[in-house]
Structure 1
Amino acid sequence: MSVIDLGGGVSWVHESFPETNGHIHVSVYLVEAPEGAILMDSGSFHHRQRLADRIHDATAGRGIGAIILSHSDYPHSGNIPAFRRDWGDFEIIASCGDPDLQGLPYARRTKIGDVIEVLGRRFVVLDPPLADRNHTTWVYDEASRTLFVADGFGALHAPGACDVDWGRLPEEGRAEGVHEFHAQTLPWLRYADPNRVMGALHAMLDRHPPAWIAPIHGPPIAEADVPRYMADLEAALTRIAASYA
């Protein structure tokens, strides 16, 4: 299974690859809107054909009408040229106010705090407390209450556990997977105050309560599992900061 329905018109489409101490997801998410299908990020070019085949099947051959980018490095934007050849000049929503800087002069610009409409569906553009690049945004889908995030909220997982959401990962090693992901992916966390990072995240979740948190580099986190994930994340950030104190 590689296309999983999260409800509310949102589907998780994913691949994984080996990373130190586990596997890591490179996911995209399909969102059904009144005027077509929206893709959250474009995925890695290493998985291009498999992703394209799954998107083709999931949309009954229609393909996509828009992509919303979290940011523009290759695991997130690398398939845009190929997908445009497959499905035409669909709309691209950039993750910043100056798409030229991302090599996307034809993309629609966004600003933190914008409420945007894409193919008839509304999203809130948010400032990410956990990111690995400048010009990164998270978006909150008001209809499904899904918070799409990159690169934070990830987790490594064991081989064979690629198709389950975070709460159904084996409990043994689950917290370690959260730590390993953030330690490997976000090196700036060694200099950050864990309390301030967690405070910003809690404030965001209070303003935009998610039915799902949908990471690009981890399994989706259901609403019931968010408190457990946040506890594991806080422990991970504290451990990362302490290891460099």
Structure 2
Amino acid sequence: MAEPFREIAAGLFWLGDCLKFEYGDEIWHGHVSTYLVVGDERTLLLDTGHPAHWGVVESALDELLGDRPLDLVLPTHPEMPHAGNLPQLARKYPGLTVVGDTRDYHLYYPQLVERLAPTPVGDRIDLGGREIHMLPAIWRDLPNTVWAFDTGSGVMFVADGFSYSHHHLTGECRLYSSELPQPPDLEQTVFLNERALFWTRHVDSEHSEPDLETLFERYRPTLVAPAHGSVIDRLDEMVELLKAGMAESRKQNRLVAARWAPTDGSR
């Protein structure tokens, strides 16, 4: 990444790196983001970043925290881009506590059992001058995925829930969704939905939309911060695009199923 971090609100920093791959004659990037929240009394890292990016994450933490420790880490769910740096963080910060829905983290990281502090949806984590609210993940890929909200900035963290694969070029890694030279489109939304939210191929997402609207009405986020994709600053536009992407994924899957359905009456 060209920039190691971006302060997106007072005391809230967008960190992480990108997975890079060849596409034609160019090198394209895909976000694997993590977010540092700095309170008056405690600090919290939301998601850990991918282990391949540990050097980038560690360097940013050193610069931003200085002599302060990282007190808490909140992985949104136990997958490599979101929890893979837990061992490195635990070694670096001896007093670190892992919060969130940690019901199966002891299986992945048995050496961290004493660091786990289960934090159910509805709980609030006081950082001093701001709180992190534990939210239900309306759109999730694992049963113990959680979302979160920072009262100090008004930013909502949505893990893979707002999946859209905006492959971007060097120098575009820290741009908001509205700042990108080419805005996210339907095709890219469908692409990542079908990989991060596999259920969108088979289930109509409309049943969850009232829950999403209720959550937004309660918290009224200023920004939405996903793990994969730029920070979203035009929420209404992106929500409609994501809904359309989910509907398109379901539609395409129905067409594939119909194309391969037996025609001899054996079905």
Shift of the alpha carbon at 1:116? Answer: 3.0
Q: What secondary structure, in the 3-state scheme, does the structure 1 residue paired with 2:174 have?
A: coil
Q: Which residue is equivalent to 1:231? A: 240
- What residue number does 1:59 align with? 65
Matched, 1:105 2:113: yes
**What is the CA–CA distance in structure 1 between the aligned matches of 2:131 and 2:155, rounded to whole Å?**
12
In structure 1, how many angstroms separate the alpha carbons of the residues matched to 2:183 and 2:8? Answer: 25
Q: Deviations over 1:1-34 (max 9, x none)?
A: 1210111311100211136976321111010111
Structure 2 counterpart of 1:26, one-letter code: V
1:127-138 aligned within 5 A: 127-138=136-147
- 1:170-185 paired onto structure 2 within 5 Å: 170-171=181-182, 173-185=184-196
User: Is contact 1:96–1:137 with CA below 8 Å preserved after alignment?
Assistant: no
Distance 2:129 2:107 in 1: 27
Paired with 2:148 and 2:202, the residues of 1 have a C-alpha distance of 26
- 1:19/1:176 Cα in 2 relative to 1: closer, same or farther (>3 Å)? farther
Larger-gyration structure (1/2): 2
What is the identity, as a one-letter code, of the residue corresponding to 2:113?
A: P
SS for the counterpart of 2:117 is: coil
One-letter amino acid of the counterpart of residue 159, structure 1: L
Amino acid in structure 2 at the alignment position of 1:158: H
Aligned to 1:168: 179
Structure 1 pair 120–7 and aligned structure 2 pair: CA distance change class (3 A): closer
Tell me, yes or no, if the aligned pair for 1:130 and 1:150 is still in contact at 8 Å: no
The C-alpha deviation readout for 1:162-206, integer Å capped at 9, x for no partner, is 221112123355443323221222111112213223332222111
Aligned counterparts, 1:55-204, within 5 A: 55-96=61-102, 100=106, 103=109, 104-106=112-114, 107-118=116-127, 121-156=130-165, 157-160=167-170, 161-171=172-182, 173-204=184-215
Check the 8 A contact 2:162/2:226 in 1, yes or no: yes
- Matched residues, number: 243
Q: TM-score, normalised by structure 2?
A: 0.83
Shift of 1:93: 0.6
> SS at 2:8's partner residue?
strand
Which digits, 9 at most, give the CA deviation of each residue in 1:37-94, with x for residues without a partner?
A: 2111111100011110111111124341211121122211111111222222212113
Q: Which moved more, 1:203-212 or 1:169-178?
A: 169-178
In the alignment, structure 1 residue 212 sits paired with structure 2 residue 235:
no
Identity %: 26
| Shift in alpha-carbon separation, 1:140–1:162, aligned structure 2, 3 A | same
Q: Which moved more, 1:57-66 or 1:70-79?
A: 57-66
TM-score (norm 1): 0.89
**Within the alignment, does 1:30 sit opposite 2:32 as a pair?**
no
2: distance between equivalents of 1:172 and 1:32?
30
Show structure 1 runs of 5+ residues with no match. Answer: none
Amino acid corresponding to residue 206 of structure 2 in structure 1: N
- Report the more deviating stretch, 16-25 or 66-75: 16-25
1:81 partner letter? P
Alignment CA distance shift 1:116-1:86 (3 Å):
closer
Structure 1 CA distance, aligned partners of 2:187 and 2:53?
A: 26
| Residues 46-55 or 61-70, more deviating | 61-70
Against the structure 1 CA distance between its residues 48 and 172, is the aligned structure 2 distance closer, same or farther, given a 3 Å change threshold?
A: closer
Partner of 1:43: 49
**Distance of 1:117 and 1:129 partners within structure 2:** 23
Structure 1 residues 220-243: Cα deviation after superposition (integer angstroms, max 9, x where no partner): 112xx0011011111101100111
Deviation at 1:128, TM superposition (A): 0.7
> After superposition, what is the alpha-carbon deviation per residue over 1:93-130, rounded to whole angstroms, capped at 9, x for unaligned?
13245654564522111112223334664222111121
Task: State the alpha-carbon separation in 2 of the partners of residues 20 and 153 from structure 1.
Answer: 24
The residue identity in structure 2 corresponding to 1:18 is K
Larger deviation: 161-170 or 57-66?
A: 57-66
How far apart in 1 are the matches of 2:15 and 2:82?
Answer: 13
SS at match of 2:118: coil
